[in-house]
Structure 1
Amino acid sequence: MKLTRRWLVLGTLLSTAFVGLLVLLVGQFVDFQTPSVDLKPFVSTEPAGETSSLPLRKFEWQARTPHPLDLKYPYPYPFLINHPDKCESPGGAPFLLMLVMTRPQDVAVRQAIRETWGNETLVPGVIIRCLFVLGLPPPLFAKELHTLLEEEDREHGDLLQVGFLDTYHNLTLKVLMGLEWMAQYCPTAHYVLKVDADVFLNPSFLVWQVLQPNGPPRPDFITGYIYRNSGPLRNPAYKWYMPPEVYLPDKYPPYCAGPGYVLSGPLALRVLAVAQTLKVIYLEDVFVGLCLQQLGVKPTPSPPQVFQMFPLQYEHCAFHRLALVHKFQPQELLQIWPDFQRVNMTCPTA
């Protein structure tokens, strides 16, 4: 089976990758002391529309300055695996476009999502489209994973690979390129969901209780778990370290937490436009908050506690009253999903 073959190949990769992973970990440890890496744009000799077959060797790695957390944007990062017709449908524009942030090696994670909350047919009567956004793998695994990704995309047709190295510090680029794809190929989507792969998502609750398809248009709408009055962490030991030379103020504007937030299509286009004019920072949720501040838009509070940023123990009725729960692994999703889908249970009204 194709899935078994993928697992065998991935198992071989993981079993032989110890030295490479050490190199990557050391690279993360010294990331703030050394220049970052990025991709030069390239001049393609391939015919237009055939970028999905471009070999990765056409990219050259280069060190860059002045700061490892200073991202290059706007920048002509190419779509290497693309589905420009993903949003074309006889039923009209998608009500919800889900952009799921994953790493190239997350084959099993993506499959678990497809079998659970990423199923585009879960909400009857509403058009949903789902794309998995990913960058390039570390050079150590590039050839093997490139082959696996091409096979995975032939089978499912839902990958969007962009031409920059897939790292935590490039997450803002991943989100912005997802919005660039939306602007180019799906500009009439009513709502756009940016969501991480390590969550439980309840699409029905999100659509009917949060987004409300039968309600009036909300062009300036964005919601999720809202952080207010938070500020940058100045200690380099922290994962979310923010040096003053990258972001000087001592407060962040209000912003929706990165594991999952949803915004109206018109606002997504405006955020993308203003992002071209601002200094990009690597904390993507904070950066979206900065874009909102520039636009004079404030996040809209969601129904209370429906976006959960901390792990919760699964309970059927409780989870049916939630939109999103952070920190769910693929095996947990697959384990709870059959029970979550049961319709013959009576839950007390809230």
Structure 2
Amino acid sequence: MGLMSLINRRAPLLSIVSISFVALVLIYNYNANKDNILSASPCTTQNRQHTRNTAQLISENPFLNARVPSEKPGSASISLSTSSRKTYAHIIQETPPNAGPEQGFDLEYLDQEVQKAMETKKAAIRFLSSPIINQHNLMYLVGREQKCTNMTPEVIITVPSAWSNFEKRQKVRDGTQGKYVRAHSQNALLLFFVGLPPAGIGKNKTQKWAKLQEESEKYADVVIAYFEDKYRNILFKHLSMLQWVINFCPKAKFVLRTDDDVGVMIDSMLVSLRRHSDEWQNFILGKQRVGDAPSRREDQPRYYLSKEEYEPDIFPPFVLGGTIGYPVSTVKLLYEAARRTKSVWLDDVFITGICATAMGIPTFNERSFQFAH
């Protein structure tokens, strides 16, 4: 397969520059100019803390040693570091169609892709330089912070669950997710994320709350966060999962989010994640939706969004929350994007659609992530 066909098929160079190099190297540029940014920001303390947090992302980026194409891409060449060779393998092995045997890696035929990548880079700089408008510093009543102390899992399976869904959580433990974790005890982790019992739920609240505490102690796999556990707070639950991974298990490789009432194929999902990670630094896999419109019907409140909450008439492409897969590097970027974007309570739309679009992170409709409740 020629190099041009590879580019037309998936544009691997664009994905590398516009996602990995773009979102992370750009944070480096932002960090290098932080004094100018902070002086103009109304959130000085918050942004200084963010600068310290995001600086850690830079040291893990394998593309920092790759030289960016010069201002004349037609005559530029790329110097590839050893750490970049895995991702650039298809480029190293092939000769561009307009390059002679003695020529280097000529980028003239990639001019359009390079220009697109540079525009994405500029957009990411502007976005990450904007002030934090949402703290999203969620607290945990039961945090399970020690879970990754003696292990670095390849995958963390995070399951959002209503606090009183005792039977559904047990079904997950006995099902595909639980079996996979037990079979790969040093390489996989399963955690359920719940909130606090909402007010006014009846006289059985005390008994159910005691039952949840007993379940948490018995299985040591339930994280309880400080927010009211009701449907329109599902965004807080999603953010509590992202935040937990960043704070307590940042060296894991992948995160799989699965609802507590869906059947999943963990092995196949991981195969898809590994395959995409060979080509993309950041991405989101799931059951993709394209062209969906927000519900404006007040008589159907389950998914209702007013114009004040979300003004556009079409959502950006996103993946449904039943099953979502992403690398941990993507988790970190999505969380930072969520802190700088007006929130929409529909968590899958907000995180995998609005925030992913702002960061230039692609979503993929993956067969192994299809599900039914």
Q: TM-score with structure 1 length normalisation?
A: 0.63
Name the counterpart of 1:234.
296
Of 188, 192, 205, which residue of structure 1 is paired with 2:255? 192
Residues 219 and 265 of structure 1 are in contact (CA less than 8 Å); yes or no, is this contact kept in structure 2? no
CA offset digits 1:157-183 (Å, max 9, x no partner) = 000111111111000110001111111
Distance 2:148 2:304 in 1: 37
Match of 1:62 in 2: none
Work out the CA distance in 2 between the residues paired with 1:125 and 1:115: 15
Other-structure match for 1:82: 143
Structure 1 residue 149 displacement after superposition = 1.5
After TM superposition, the structure 1 stretch with the greater mean CA deviation from structure 2, 80-89 or 241-250, is 80-89
Residue aligning to 1:202 = 265
Partner of 2:211: 148
Letter in 2 for 1:100: V
Q: 2:154 aligns with which of 68, 72, 95?
A: 95
Residues of 1 paired with 2:148 and 2:205: CA distance? Answer: 29
Q: Distance in 1 between matches of 2:297 and 2:345?
A: 16
Residue of structure 2 equivalent to 1:5 = none
Query: Which of the pair is proportionally richer in helix?
Result: 2
- The alpha carbon displacement at 1:217 in A equals 6.7
Aligned match of 2:307? 244
Amino acid paired to 1:223: L
Could you tell which deviates more after superposition, 284-293 or 187-196?
A: 187-196
The alpha carbon displacement at 1:212 in A equals: 2.6
Per-residue CA distance 1:53-110 (angstroms, 9 max, x = gap): xxxxxxxxxxxxxxxxxxx9434432011210112334xx211111101111111111
In 2, Cα distance between equivalents of 1:75 and 1:142: 27
Among 340, 346, 357, the alignment partner of 1:277 is: 340
Question: 2:257 is matched by which residue type in structure 1?
Answer: K
The one-letter amino acid of 1:299's match is T
Q: Which has the higher strand share?
A: 1
Show the counterpart of 1:180: 243
Q: Which aligned pairs between 1:51-66 and structure 2 lie closer than 5 A?
A: none
In 2 relative to 1, CA 80–217 (structure 1 residues): closer, same or farther, beyond 3 Å? farther
State the identity as a percent: 25
1:105 aligned residue (164, 185, 193):
164
SS of equivalent residue, structure 2 residue 303: coil
Q: Following TM superposition, by how much is the alpha carbon of 1:272 offset from its aligned partner in structure 2, in angstroms?
A: 0.3
Paired AA for residue 86 in structure 1: K
Is 1:307 paired with 2:366?
no
- The equivalent position to 1:219 in structure 2, one of 258, 276, 281, is 281
Q: Once superposed, which parts of structure 1, at least 4 consecutive aligned residues long, lie more than 6 Å away?
A: none
TM-fit CA distance, 1:307: 3.1
Amino acid at match of 1:95: E
CA contact (8 A) 2:134 2:341 kept: no
Q: CA deviation at 1:123?
A: 5.3
User: C-alpha separation between the residues in 2 aligned to 1:85 and 1:126?
Assistant: 14
Deviations 1:129-161, CA, capped at 9 Å, x for gaps? 111000011234543222111211111000011
Are the structure 2 counterparts of residues 77 and 142 from structure 1 closer, same or farther at C-alpha, using a change threshold of 3 Å? farther
Inter-partner Cα distance in structure 2 for 1:142 and 1:162: 17
**What SS is found at the alignment partner of 1:248?**
coil
| Residues 285 and 212 (structure 1), Cα distance of their counterparts in 2 relative to 1, 3 Å cut | same
1: CA distance, partners of 2:276 / 2:234: 33
Q: Give the residue type in structure 2 aligned to 1:129.
A: L
Given the alignment, which residue of 272, 275, 292 partners 2:356? 292
Q: Would the aligned equivalents of 2:190 and 2:221 in 1 still touch at CA under 8 Å? A: yes
How far apart, CA to CA, are the structure 2 residues paired with 1:75 and 1:224? 24
Instruction: Confirm or deny: 8 A CA contact 2:268 2:368 kept in the other structure.
Output: no
2:197 to 112, 129, 137: 137
Once the two structures are TM-superposed, the CA of residue 232 in structure 1 deviates from its matched residue by 0.9
Task: Verify the 8 A CA contact 1:136 1:142 in the aligned structure 2.
Answer: no
Unaligned runs of 5+ in 1: 1-71, 309-324, 328-350
SS of 1:259 mapped into structure 2: strand
State the 1:215 CA deviation: 6.2
Distance 1:77 1:278, change over 3 A: same
C-alpha change, 1:205 and 1:114, in structure 2 (3 Å) is: same
Aligned partner of 1:232: which letter? P
Report deviation, 1:240.
Answer: 1.3
| Contact residue 264 and residue 369 of structure 2 kept, 8 A | no
Distance across 2 between alignment mates of 1:145 and 1:73? 32
Structure 2 distance, partners of 1:215, 1:290, is 22
Q: How many residues align?
A: 235
Which SS does the other structure have where 1:77 is aligned? coil
Q: How far does residue 118 in structure 1 lie from its aligned partner after superposition?
A: 2.5
Amino acid at match of 1:298: P
Could you say what secondary structure the match of 2:147 adopts? coil
